[in-house]
Amino acid sequence: MRILITGGCGFVGSNLAIFLKKKLKSSKIISLDNLFRKGSEVNLKRINFHKIKNFKYDIENYNKIKRLPKIDLVLDCCAEPSIEVSKKDPDRVINTNFLGTYNILKKCINDNAKIIFLSSSRVYSISALRKIVKNLNLNKKLKINKKIDENFSTQGVKSLYGLSKLSSEELIKEFNYVSNIKYIINRLGVITGPWQFGKQDQGFVSMWVGRHIFKRKLSYIGFGGKGNQVRDIIHIKDVCNIILKQIKLFNKVNNKTFNIGGGLRNAISLNELTLFCQELTKTKISFSRKKNTSLYDIPYYVTNNSQIKKYYKWAPRYSKKDIINDIFNWIKMNKKLKRFFL
């Protein structure tokens, strides 16, 4: 089997490529990545070490995409994932996330290939997510008891990024209807772990750990600036494991959409994350507090994994403490990458 991983030099794509190279010995893994994102040059060296070839093509250029070797399966990890970039540079988000998916689907039709599409929890309605938390100032610690399943509302504003991912989901279903492309859509929550070069609006957990290690300032932004907003986090290894299961069982389970995340067990507030980091690093850093936040920001998201568990008998193995420890140990061992966390 020949597997194409789009965004193969990104955080998720590179980890998946290396993991699958080890697990699927008889398969050929290739990467598509234009190396635009900061840190992609580091991941290129990692995948090249494992003898995984990268094609430095822009995903919105179909004339290049159609020249790729024949494939049997696409893992579509390519995206501009920043919510804030979708406000500042909507062309980049739409071209990469939507037009890119369209081009990959044309390649799938040509090669009779299947697709596993990595979507996002940000396809869900901002207003509906905000209604979960009655007090948007979040002056008190949140009660973590609401889980978001696949039937949660996608109506209304969700950010241009979220719209591009939801639109890609619908495009995949259209191509399934007319061309019988078999697919799996995974709506993923906050993925994190070693080799993530995090920033404020994408990869905040690794950024938080790195800033504590290197004693750099951080901010609690929005919802009163108290640091009580909550996300659930999932280790990249858990993501790799469930996608491996999906590949192996593709002929039995396909044409479905799944929510995948850390769940209630791995729900964490920024305050709790700070305490974990302080305990690990024995350091207290300076925090600023900003009451206002982006129009796209949400106070709460926790994944309901019931459906993915039902079909694959899968659940995340790594706890939030495991995840933060792994990131801490990775950064400590790779301090030469300090520039990515400042």
Q: Is 16 left (phi over 0), alpha (psi -120 to 50) or beta?
A: alpha
What's the domain count of the chain?
1
CB atoms within 10 A of CB 296: 18
| Full residue range of the structural domain in which residue 189 is found | 2-341
At 142 the pLDDT is 73
* The Cα angle at residue 263 between residues 144 and 97, in degrees rounded to 5: 115
At 246 the pLDDT is 98
At 105 the pLDDT is 98
At 135 the pLDDT is 66
At 70 the pLDDT is 98
Half-sphere exposure of 303 (CA within 13 A, CB side): 28
Beta strands across the sheet bearing 183-188: 53-55, 28-32, 2-6, 73-76, 114-120, 183-188, 256-260
Residues 6 or more apart in contact with residue 157 via CB below 8 angstroms? 125, 126, 127
CA dist 253 and 166 (Å) reads 21
At 137 the pLDDT is 64
At 326 the pLDDT is 98
Average confidence (pLDDT) per 10 residues, the chain, 342 residues:
97 98 96 92 96 97 96 95 80 93 98 98 96 75 86 96 97 98 97 90 90 94 91 98 98 98 96 96 92 91 98 98 97 89 72
- CATH number for the domain including 44? 3.40.50.720
